[in-house]
Amino acid sequence: MRKIPRKVGVILLILIMSISILQGCTKNSESTTDQSTFQAGDSSTEPVVGGEITVAFQEAPEHYDTDNTYAFVTTAVTNHVYEGLFEFNANNEAVPQLAKSYNVIDEGKTYQIFLREGVKFSDGEEMTAEDVKASLDRWFEVNAAGVAIAKSLVEVEIVNDYEILVKFDKVYAPFLNILASPVSCQKMTVKKKEIIEEFGTSIITKHIGTGPYYFDEIVSGQKVVLKRNDNYTPLESDATGLAGKRVAYLDKITIEFVPEESVRIAGLQSGKYDFIDEVSTDRYAELEQYPGIMPEISEFGTISVLAFNCGALPFDNVNLRKAVAYAINPADMATAQIGDSKFWTADDGSWFKKGTIWYDANAGEGVFDSQDLEKAKALVEASDYNGEIITILGMKSNLWSSNGSLALQSQLSKIGLNVEIDLYDRSTYFDYLKSGKWNIMLSRWSDMSPDPQVFEPWTGTDGWITRWQGKDAERMDEIFDRMVVELDQEKRYEIVQEFYNEFWSSLPYMKLFNDSKVYGIHDNVKGYAGYGQPFFWNVWISE
């Protein structure tokens, strides 16, 4: 396989993170990837087969090819039509979905994957290893996550109709986690071989999947209509997260794309819509007053991040980066950017949520949320900072970014930093970001990453947009080199703790807080349990 330069991965991640920045808005949590887990309505009633719902999403996908997009709404729609070999359960663990089971063999370098038999596409044809191999080959060639992994791939080999081997030239421990990722442009789904051969690496516009629904109608930029796939073969295991049993109780799901929040809320109130996404936090109380409507705060959401340009003065000096960490009060930042504390938390420096297998309650201890202005001033003195202007880069149209920049400027001025805010239009903003003409910027990431290894292109030498180099960055590279080949979960977790320790010691960027998203849903919609993104299998209508 050809070698993929580190910079390729960095550029891909810049695109992902840049889109995250674009979507942010103060007191209006618009982010690229929603991560939610909640049970709406009284699900004690018996499920009812039949009926339909109409859903309003804020953002319209450009297309529905999950290998060729970073948009969260694409997977939110296509999860109903396509399935992965593996999916995440509610504990953020990759478990078999279209796969029946798997083994890791050849000293950890080969994944032996057995497929479920009798799984049919919506056109009635059975899924076989030919379809899976074609889907994996395309994923490695087109999908951003697959491209990053492809440098270690030897081949995907078909053993028989229901068994494949994925061979690497070295151990690649996080393979299944990344394969199952719910994050856009990481997730791998199984498509028909014939369709992949027809479209190649071009955007797929003909969709036949194994999921509980199929596309009945697509009106670009306006709506999609999903209908029950009568050929669907569900798992019998309990539904958990995105994994397990998916039942198509509803005959039809219409998803309309409605950018105006006021129109979505009015439609929910009138009964036109049964579910809406992207509700402003400052309209939560309003929805509470509407009869028959429940506003829901998601369990998962996004992480607010402060990034340093470590490749230029003055933040090439770690002491000044630490000074910023001790100057910041995350709660003040969250209040400025999000609003009411019911919609955000600033509990710890872990990049993974409590309850997931990679969570570390002690991550960032002594640095995260440890405001100490005197300590910060001493670190400024210990750095090479001489009063030069520090620029916070932001966008004029992005209130989440601009309000956060104002709060940050206020906090940093208290330790003697000369801070200015540069707000630009979208095009100029990205020009400055990519050219390195900035010192600090604020970003927003999904808080449900599939595996710690995905932080490698964000965090190591020249990671993400930080231009971080030197011995600290090299130590981080070495940590990731050991992490990728460690198959033992407990030993790998110990390496992840090393990552946390090095990260919070050297601070190429830093976590500020977690925030949640708000949805609106009618109380006659039963069985809803979104995870990662809204989905409507296992959902029924109770009249």
The CATH number of residue 85's host domain is 3.40.190.10
pLDDT of 33 > 70? The answer is no
Please tell me the distance from the alpha carbon of residue 505 to that of residue 525, in angstroms, as a whole number.
Answer: 48
> Do the domain assignments include residue 327?
yes
- Same domain? For 423 and 470 the reply is yes
Question: pLDDT per residue over 154-201, tens digit each?
Answer: 999 999 999 999 999 999 999 999 999 887 778 999 999 999 999 999
Per-residue pLDDT at 441: 96
> Do the domain assignments include residue 234?
yes
Please tell me the distance from the alpha carbon of residue 452 to that of residue 458, in angstroms, as a whole number.
Answer: 11
pLDDT of 63 > 70? The answer is yes
Per-residue pLDDT at 240: 94
Q: What tokens appear for 197 in the block?
A: 């051969």
> Do the domain assignments include residue 364?
yes
pLDDT class of 72 with cuts at 50, 70, 90: confident
Under 8 Å between Cβ of 463 and 10: yes
> Do the domain assignments include residue 34?
no
Per-residue pLDDT at 409: 98
Lowest mean pLDDT among 132-136, 299-303, 519-523: 299-303
User: Percent of the chain at pLDDT above 70?
Assistant: 92
- Same domain? For 217 and 109 the reply is yes
- Same domain? For 419 and 436 the reply is yes
In the chain, how long is the greatest CA-to-CA distance? 70
Q: Map residue 105 onto helix, strand or coil.
A: strand
Please tell me the distance from the alpha carbon of residue 507 to that of residue 101, in angstroms, as a whole number.
Answer: 40
> Do the domain assignments include residue 500?
yes
pLDDT of 268 > 90? The answer is yes
Question: pLDDT per residue over 388-426, tens digit each?
Answer: 999 999 988 778 889 999 999 999 999 999 999 999 987
Question: pLDDT per residue over 220-232, tens digit each?
Answer: 999 999 999 999 9
- Same domain? For 529 and 496 the reply is no
- Same domain? For 257 and 326 the reply is no
The terminus-to-terminus CA distance of the chain in angstroms comes to 57
- Same domain? For 205 and 324 the reply is no
Q: Which residues contact 190 (CB under 8 A, 6 or more apart)?
A: 82, 83, 84, 85, 98, 127, 131, 132, 135, 209, 210
Q: Which residues contact 182 (CB under 8 A, 6 or more apart)?
A: 33, 35, 75, 87, 88, 242, 448, 450, 531, 532, 533
pLDDT of 309 > 50? The answer is yes
Please tell me the distance from the alpha carbon of residue 30 to that of residue 400, in angstroms, as a whole number.
Answer: 9
Per-residue pLDDT at 44: 57
Question: pLDDT per residue over 89-120, tens digit each?
Answer: 988 889 999 999 999 999 999 999 999 999 99
- Same domain? For 188 and 319 the reply is no
Q: Which of 230, 258, 106 is nearest to 167 (CA)?
A: 106
| Cβ count near 468 (within 10 Å) | 28
What amino acid occupies position 160? N
**Cα dihedral 433/434/435/437 (nearest 10):** 10
- Same domain? For 97 and 157 the reply is yes
- Same domain? For 472 and 528 the reply is no
Lowest mean pLDDT among 78-92, 174-188, 235-249: 174-188
> Do the domain assignments include residue 494?
yes
Per-residue pLDDT at 530: 82
- Same domain? For 510 and 535 the reply is no
> Do the domain assignments include residue 27?
no
Q: Where are the alpha helices (DSSP H) in 125-192?
A: 129-142, 144-150, 175-179
Query: Number of folded domains in the chain?
Result: 2
105 alpha-carbon distance from chain centroid: 30
Residue-range definition of the domain harbouring residue 325 = 300-516
- Same domain? For 387 and 436 the reply is yes
Per-residue pLDDT at 184: 72
Question: pLDDT per residue over 13-24, tens digit each?
Answer: 444 444 343 343
pLDDT of 30 > 50? The answer is no
The residue ranking higher by pLDDT, 431 or 252, is 252
Q: Report the mean per-residue pLDDT for the chain.
A: 90
> Do the domain assignments include residue 41?
no
Per-residue pLDDT at 43: 52
The CATH number of residue 378's host domain is 3.10.105.10
- Same domain? For 531 and 509 the reply is no
